[in-house]
Amino acid sequence: DVVMTQSPLSLPVTLGQPASISCRSSQSLVHSDGNTYMNWFQQRPGQSPRRLIYKISNRDSGVPDRFSGSGSGTDFTLKISRVEAEDVGVYYCMQGTHWPPWTFGQGTKVEIK
Amino acid sequence: QVQLVQSGAEVKKPGASVKVSCKASGYTFSDYYIHWVRQTPGQGLEWMGRINPDSGATDYAQSFQGRVTMTRDTSISTVYMELSRLRSDDTALFYCVRDDFGTIDYWGQGTLVTVVS
């Protein structure tokens, strides 16, 4: 199974400041079809996760443009350009390239300092 | 709009079984696989398996093989996940999710299953 390793696991940030989360996979996430099925999810307290980013850098409808995804191969990053209070929660990376199974990172808890 | 609505919380004894439902709406039920994901404080998010709502074909994670069964009822656009021989460490939130080709585009609201003697 592909192991997804996130860092940091806890991220205290100041409102208005940037934040960055790293996710590394144990093998390349480039699929034989040429796509890289790397996704990011946000889980706010008491809610189900929701997708923010798919295929490395595609933002879902309704996701603020302060969220961006980047990376390639085995190294990926989710960036929040200016953290707002509503961004508090846990962020997960997930790979859908090497299936089965889908695998997730451990989660990064973002909180306000 | 796409919705996945799950059944309510359950409390079960060790050794029992639980069956969770997931009703889909807002899209053609047979067009998208449905997967189940378990969330626990210790293990995080864990993929359990998937079902093809059209054919009923299933694929299960090795760690759940022999204990999980996924079925569907196309007449009511509902998928079911049954987990048997429950243990205390099965206490978790269970989510049904829609597969959008290598990603999850929609999540159910989650069903809390508590296993306690």
Cβ–Cβ gap A96/B103 under 8 Å: yes
Facing residue for A96 by CB, picked from B44, B45, B102: B102
Q: Which two tokens stand for residue B110?
A: 């989650």
> Rounded to the nearest 5 degrees, what angle is found at the Cα of B101, between the Cα atoms of B99 and B105?
45
Please, which residues have CB within 8 angstroms of residue B35's CB and are 6 or more apart in sequence? A102, B47, B48, B49, B50, B51, B96, B97, B98, B99, B104
CA distance A64 to B68: 38
| Chain B residues with beta carbon closer than 8 angstroms to that of A99 | 102
For residue A32, count other CB atoms closer than 10 A to its CB: 6
A94 touches chain B (CB under 8 A): yes
Q: Do B45 and A50 touch (CB under 8 A)?
A: no
**pLDDT at B41 > cutoff 90:** no
Please give the average per-residue pLDDT across B95-106, as a whole number: 95
B9 touches chain A (CB under 8 A): no
Please indicate whether, in this complex, the C-beta atoms of B102 and A31 are within 8 angstroms of each other: yes
pLDDT at B43: 78
Output the pLDDT for position A13.
Answer: 97
CA dist B96 and B68 (Å) reads: 14
For Cα atoms A99, B56, B105, give the angle at the middle one, nearest 5 degrees: 50
The residues in A 29-68 lying below 8 A from B, measured between CB atoms, are 31, 35, 37, 39, 41, 48-51, 54-55, 60
A100 CB near a chain B CB, below 8 Å? yes
Confidence at B25, pLDDT banded by 50, 70, 90: very high
Q: Note whether B59 contacts A51, CB cutoff 8 Å.
A: no
DSSP structure class, residue B17: -
**Amino acid B20: pLDDT:** 98
The answer to whether A91 contacts chain B (CB < 8 Å) is no
Q: Identify which has the larger pLDDT, B44 or A44.
A: A44
For B27, counting Cβ atoms within 10 Å of its Cβ (0-12 exposed, 13-18 middle, 19+ buried), the class is: middle
Q: Which residues of chain A have pLDDT under 70?
A: none
Q: Exposed, middle or buried by CB within 10 Å (0-12, 13-18, 19+), for A51? A: buried
- Is B28 near chain A, with CB under 8 Å? no
Report CA torsion sign: A2, B35, B27, B71.
positive
Size of interface A-B (CB pairs under 8 A): 56
Please give the span between the terminal C-alpha atoms of chain B, in angstroms, as a whole number.
Answer: 40
DSSP tag of A102: P
Contact B68, B49 (CB under 8 A): yes
Q: Are residues A48 and B105, on separate chains, in Cβ contact within 8 Å? A: no
Measured between CB atoms, which of B46, B59, B104 is closest to A51?
B104
Measured between CA atoms, how close is B47 to chain A, in angstroms?
Answer: 6
| Cα A81 from chain centre | 14
The answer to whether the beta carbons of residues B34 and B96 sit under 8 Å apart is yes
Per residue in B52-77, pLDDT tens?
999 999 999 999 999 999 999 999 99
